[in-house]
Amino acid sequence: MRTANRKLSWTIGLVTTFLGLVWLWGGTAVAAQTLYPVATDQYVNDYANVISSADEAHIRDLLTGYEASDGVQMTVLTVRSLSDYGTGDNSIEQFATNLFNEWGIGQASRNDGVLLLVAVADRELRIELGSGYGVAYNGRMQRIIDQIIVPYFRQEDYSLGIFEGSRAIVADLRGEVYESLAETNGSIPSRTTGVDEPTTGGLGKILLGLGAVGVPLGSLLVSRYRRYKPRTCSSCQTTMTRLEEQADDAYLKPGQLTEERLSSVDYDVWLCPNCQQRQVIPYENWLQRYGRCRKCHYRTVSHSSTILSHPTYSHSGRKRDRAYCNHCGDEKITESVIPMLVESSSSSSSSSSSSSSSSSSSSFGGGSSSGGGASGKW
């Protein structure tokens, strides 16, 4: 009888231990599986399927070049609805901050990452900034949302709105003037950074009215008016003369001439016929994807990539990026991880989801956000 009881106790203990191990393993697996979207690409994750293939390629080129030239990681994420993920977040701000930190966007040493998040069905968007940015950037991101992105979204042109918004964010953070794709000859010469402020005066109001009807047309007309409007010399108040394209080369520096040769920047030179004072005004062409050189500071850097090893469903890949300045010859070569491939089915196992998350997040630099940025609705 004692032997039977001893065997029964031993059996119960074994079963209890086994069930405890199963519970512990299951709890660990659940904890390892993130509820947030998995980053399968470092630059563009279009889960809402609203970005055209052409614009996606342009955005990826823009953000790749931005990271190569400035070292800043920016990524775009579109989702159908935040409620699809069941994270328990109460707002797009909370969702964006937690996802930002889950992915580790930006370099941990600088916390300078940027996330552009669009929840299409919720009609909400968010620009989330790393904790390295000051509070002044929040207002600048809000202007980009209100003045550039939302007008496109209200026309349900999500693809172009995301592309233009990405370009505006990069321009602002670089301290450059944003110019829309419709502005074939550039932007406002008097500003050095950020998004254009509303124009005052009768003609400006008319042009802004046109812009409200058609953003690209109004933007183009405003741009051309400001570029070619008469200018007065600040010294003698004489009306200045805008030099022809070949004549203005005599007043440009070698680096500026290289920018014009590459069509990355077009310069206007205005000359006072009375006192010979001159103004040299740059107009950047964002259709030409040259980055700004870290040494000579001209927009003359071209980018190229070489795949060293292709990613698979079990291993990540690697690529080598080369940034070369066509003016001073400065060269920068970096290697980075290409996230491994993941199954497109939403019924992927928790282990593959965890592995994908680990692989994709390794492409980022471990940066974090404390909730800075701006949000918008349309």
Residue-level pLDDT at 8:
54
| Dist. CA 121–CA 288, nearest whole Å | 33
pLDDT per position in the chain (378 positions), as tens? 555 555 555 555 555 555 555 455 444 444 345 689 999 899 999 999 999 988 898 999 999 999 998 999 999 999 999 999 988 999 999 999 999 999 999 999 999 999 999 999 999 999 999 999 989 999 999 999 999 999 999 999 999 999 999 999 999 999 888 877 765 334 333 333 344 444 444 555 455 444 444 555 555 666 677 788 899 999 999 999 999 988 999 999 999 999 999 998 999 999 999 999 999 999 877 666 677 888 998 989 887 778 788 777 788 778 787 889 999 999 989 887 766 665 533 334 333 333 333 334 448 989 999 999 999 999
Note whether 307 and 313 are within 8 A (CB): no
Residue-level pLDDT at 319:
77
Residue-level pLDDT at 133:
92
- Both structure tokens of 123: 């009609």
- Residue for token digits 């964002």? 286
Closest CA to 108 of 365, 331, 286: 365
Residue-level pLDDT at 74:
97
Cα dihedral 119, 121, 124, 128, rounded to 10, equals: 0
Strands 278-284 and 301-309, by their bridges, are: unpaired
Residue-level pLDDT at 202:
52
Sign of CA dihedral 48, 54, 57, 60: negative
- DSSP designation for 199: P
